[in-house]
Amino acid sequence: MEANKLRLLCFCVFYLALFPTLRASIAHDAQFWQTRAREAKQAAQKAYKPNPHDIALTFNKHVDKSFKSSNGTRRGLSKYTGPCLATNPIDKCWRCDPNWEKNRKKLANCALGFGHGTTGGKNGKIYVVTDSSDHDLINPKPGTLRHAVIQNEPLWIIFKHSMNIKLSSELIFTDNKTIDARGANVHISNGAQMTLQYVKNIIIHGLHIHDIKKGGGGLIRDSVNHYGYRSSSDGDAISLFGSSHVWIDHISLWNCDDGLIDVVEGSTAITISNCHMTRHNDVMLFGASDGYSGDKVLQVTVAFNHFGKGLIQRMPRCRWGFFHIVNNDYTQWVMYAIGGSQQPTILSQGNRFIAPNNPNAKEVTKRDYAAESVWKTWSWTSENDLMRNGAFFVQSGKKSGNFPKTDIKAKPGSYAASLTRFSGAIKCVVNKPC
Ligand SMILES: *[C@@H]1O[C@H](CO)[C@@H](O)[C@H](O)[C@H]1NC(C)=O
Ligand SMILES: *[C@@H]1O[C@H](CO)[C@@H](O)[C@H](O)[C@H]1NC(C)=O
């Protein structure tokens, strides 16, 4: 939804008059979220990179290096037991380790791009989700995912067995959490969304998230110390609201009521990698409002994702910030792939764009709410992208950043299929490379 407002409380005067204690609690809620918003803004300012093209360059160097050293890495792995098929530097960081299960937290060192440094629950205990139910939103049962994500301390959350979790209402995270579904087939589906509101340092890895519905809202616990009223939720798969240092990796996403991944309200230091997205209209929204200049801090890396069957538009749709869209494979869209308004900087490198057969939908890009004389100044750059079936990218503005002489170009789009080959949730077996 475009108008992604601060989801607080909306109660009719009638109830307020009847229950003065409720009114007091609403005032308390507003204060609680105001404090959280203030802290989140400070965290975002700290995470913001004044030279974002350096981050893009570093990312490209990692990819380049992983190609050069891949033979050496194999020889160097002492416990190498089979063909490790990791095809990109994020995966090479952990997938070839047959002891991935014992070394789960290795993943915490693998984020590249703007989300680099996201460690999630690295410094915490392992929390094992044993119960797929979600019945009590105020006092969640120990062993449930909801109980895990509201805890104050850092946690590395894993799953005892495969399960389907139907969220009764929004799942609201606290700081320093990893959700690591490796080794189990975990679906979050047919219920409400995951919401990261004013939090930092979150890794979400290895889930299937689909058929997410609008949520009814109501009383929900958002942390051990607090619960409050929430209005309805949009029906995104994952919604980032004023959050920083978030890494979303190897998620399979499809068919939700609203967006698949929304990044809004001054979120920053985000990497979305190795995801496989299908069957959806509004895929990803980065910045929800042309009027909210607080989104100038938005900095997102979108890498190694496969935008597959049945997608329509917004892969992503950007506003205000800096977006490095690199080494993704776009095999289908109906309207366009990358769009935006309000002068976002878009650096598209090494993607493969396969246009649909519709002669009117060959353009990768789409600009909204601006005359050509205005959008001509927006920095939208395409480099080393592979254009197929008539796809074309309309560039504009100056090439982003002052790339130094040592500029290492992104791996060309002809590698995108290989780099994204294992996108989506992957099946990992204990004691085997994944
Ligand atoms: C790895 O080694 C093989 C055999 O020596 C060679 O053919 C291949 O090109 C090398 N691959 C890389 C990525 O260096
Ligand atoms: C989250 O982790 C950071 C970095 O390790 C730490 O400074 C902070 O206190 C943690 N927050 C909580 C609520 O534990």
Ligand 2 atom 10: the closest Cα is on which residue? Answer: 176
Decide if 250 contacts 257 (C-beta within 8 A): no
Nearest atom of ligand 1 to the alpha carbon of 67 = 13
Ligand 1 atom 3: the closest Cα is on which residue? Answer: 71
Residue 92's pLDDT is 93
Give pLDDT tens digits for 64-102.
998 886 544 444 444 444 566 789 999 999 998 999 999
Nearest atom of ligand 2 to the alpha carbon of 123 = 5
Residue 230's pLDDT is 95
- Look at the alpha carbons of 79, 422, 235, 337 in this order and tell me if their dihedral is positive or negative: positive
- CB of 70 shorter than 6 A to ligand 1: yes
Residue 67's pLDDT is 84
Q: What is the mean pLDDT of residues 130-138?
A: 98
Ligand 1 mean position, distance from CA 71 (Å): 6
Ligand 2 mean position, distance from CA 198 (Å): 14
CB atoms within 10 A of CB 46: 12
- CB of 152 shorter than 6 A to ligand 2: yes
* DSSP character string of 225-246: TEEEEE--B---SEEEES-EEE
Domain ranges of the chain: 39-62+104-419
Ligand 2 atom 14: the closest Cα is on which residue? Answer: 153
- Nearest Cα neighbor of 415 from 181, 149, 64 is 64
Ligand 2 atom 1: the closest Cα is on which residue? Answer: 176
Band of the pLDDT at 9, cuts 50, 70, 90? very low
- Domain with residues 39-62+104-419, CATH architecture: 3 Solenoid (2.160)
Q: What is the mean pLDDT of residues 240-269?
A: 98
What is the chain's mean pLDDT, rounded? 91
- CB of 245 shorter than 6 A to ligand 2: no
- CB of 67 shorter than 6 A to ligand 1: yes
Q: How far apart are CA 144 and CA 140, in angstroms?
A: 7
Ligand lying nearest the CA atom of residue 36: 2
Q: Which positions are annotated as active-site residues?
A: 314
Give pLDDT tens digits for 317-360.
999 999 999 999 999 999 999 999 999 999 999 999 999 999 99
Q: Please tell me the pTM assigned to this model.
A: 0.91
Nearest atom of ligand 1 to the alpha carbon of 71 = 1
SS3 430: coil
- CB of 71 shorter than 6 A to ligand 1: yes
- CB of 418 shorter than 6 A to ligand 1: no
Q: How far apart are CA 303 and CA 349, in angstroms?
A: 10
- Considering only 1-10, 329-338, 342-351, 417-426, which range has the smallest mean pLDDT? 1-10
What Cα–Cα distance (Å) separates residue 309 from each residue in 181, 227, 333, 347, 404? 24, 39, 8, 24, 38
What Cα–Cα distance (Å) separates residue 431 from each residue in 17, 92, 101, 127, 299? 62, 17, 7, 21, 37
Give pLDDT tens digits for 135-176.
999 999 999 999 999 999 999 999 999 999 999 999 999 999
Ligand 1 mean position, distance from CA 50 (Å): 38
Structure token digits, residue 314? 């917004």
- CB of 392 shorter than 6 A to ligand 1: no
